[in-house]
Amino acid sequence: MDKIWAANMMSSENLPDLSYHWMPFTANRQFKSNPRLLVEAEGMFYTSVEGNRILDGVAGLWCVNAGHGRKRIAQAIKDQADRMDYSPGFQMGHPGTFELAARLAQHLPRGIDRVFFTNSGSESVETALKIAIAYHRVRGDGGRFRLIGRERGYHGVNFGGISVGGMVANRKMFGSLLTGVDHIRHTHNLEKNAFSRGQPAHGAELAEDLERLVQLHDPSTVAAVIVEPVAGSAGVLIPPLGYLQKLREICDRHGILLIFDEVITGFGRLGKPFGSEYFDVKPDIITAAKGLTNGAAPMGAVFVKREIHDAFMHGPEGAIELFHGYTYSGHPLACAAALASLDVYESDGLFTRAAAMADYWEDALHSLKDAPHVIDVRNIGLIGAVELEPIAGQPTKRAFSAFLDAYENGVLVRTTGDTIAMSPPLIIEKQHIDQLVGTLGEVLKRLE
């Protein structure tokens, strides 16, 4: 039998050679000198290779919304692998994709009910941007090619995504990126909004920046605007009250498509199936991934308004309508995982559970307000962030030290810049919140 890593198996002879794998978004040399290897997961906890239990404060990477080790999901993947491993998705199909698309449509905002499958959030973003540009073209409006993103936006790592994204470190190494892209200002404002609970009061007027850019480029050239309803990877930036509504109004005024990147806000993170419903703003296209399969198999999806889909359904019936897709679009194993995840979300009430826990979560996080180095605490749904004063001349170091210390003490969080971000599985109980925040409080006291 192949070796399966389990707890307490680490010893210097046993450990694989770490040098071959170039790890993503990782300080490779730091990691390899002091590895953090996880081998088991159940409910709210990981187990490290040393046998330590680690409370999962980030749902893996914002994806394991129903908690770890869900037997129903594992069984569905196993059953599908036994029945049929793979089937081609071009000019062929398998029933799982159709069933899944129909099931997903039940949880989406009314009218957004056509589904294109991908394998990740990054691919969902590329797909959405391409659909947006192509949509205008098939309607005879091919002059609309510009894409507008936002500073500090994160839309994955492919060229479209980093072009509309606004995280400098993710962009600066990679040349000229896509042309025809511009960015509105971000909404993060600690002077006015520090320690907000839920949506900040100030900043709706920043949406007017979109009007400025649209006028600069001429509205007739703009295809789409893409934003995360809540930006996660750039440090948990919560939209000011009224801001998303204003973006919608401006897009409507100029015939521009609005794309919500819901890769982290989808599947119950805010206490509704999607952020669009939570904020009561309906975009034209929604991108998703992560929670779609509870993290158990790679899969993403793009949800589009029916009229956008229908605009492509012209021309000879035998002709391909959209020259786009991936070998693994709608992979049978991922479909099985997603269908079983929907079963679990529905039967366990997880699409709305974040709403029930949000007040306790908020109070617990804000108890860190006066802890050392803390310059902001913010929260929405089951998302939270603690922003730290950076060490002068060494940005990111303080938060990264907090991450390492928390991990050593049995709690997994994530950091971006000098912000500690948290997004636990939606099955979290009060005692887990107490452990998470209690450990973080101790960590903050120890930080330099």
Ligand X SMILES: Cc1ncc(COP(=O)(O)O)c(C=O)c1O
Instruction: Read off the amino acid at residue 113.
Output: D
Least spacing, CB of residue 231 vs ligand X, in Å: 7
In whole angstroms, how close is the CB of 31 to ligand X at the nearest point? 18
DSSP 172-219: TTSTT--SSEEEEPP---HHHHTT-SSS-SS-GGGGHHHHHHHHHH-G
Nearer to ligand X, 217 or 324 (CB): 324
Say how far apart CA 239 and CA 230 lie, in whole Å: 6
> In terms of CB distance, is 55 or 289 closer to ligand X?
289
CB of 209 to ligand X, least distance (A): 20
In angstroms, the CA 193 to CA 189 distance is 6
Nearer Cβ to ligand X, position 154 or 361? Answer: 154
Q: Which is nearer to ligand X, 261 or 284 (CB)?
A: 261
Q: Which is nearer to ligand X, 156 or 268 (CB)?
A: 156
Q: Which is nearer to ligand X, 228 or 418 (CB)?
A: 228
CA distances from 139 to 115, 134, 142, 235, 312 (A): 20, 9, 8, 38, 8
- DSSP structure class, residue 346: H
**The 3-state secondary structure of 378-447, one letter per residue:** EEECCEEEEEECCECCECCHHHHHHHHHHHHCCEECEEECCEEEECCCCCCCHHHHHHHHHHHHHHHHHC
User: What is the nearest approach in angstroms of ligand X to the Cβ of residue 163?
Assistant: 13
- 55 or 125, CB closer to ligand X? 125
The least CB distance from residue 155 to ligand X, in Å, is 5
Binding site for ligand X (CB under 6 A): 120-122, 125, 154-156, 228, 232-233, 261, 263-264, 289
- Rounded CA-CA distance 145/224 in Å is 8
Q: How far is the CB of 159 from ligand X (least distance, A)?
A: 13
Task: Name residue 440's beta-bridge partners.
Answer: none
Q: Which residue is nearest to ligand X (CB)?
A: 121
CB of 87 to ligand X, least distance (A): 23
- CA angle at 383 for the pair 35 and 293, rounded to the nearest 5°: 70
Amino acid at 424: P
The distance of closest approach from Cβ of residue 90 to ligand X in the complex, given in angstroms and rounded to an integer, is 22
Residue 187 vs 439, nearer CB to ligand X: 187
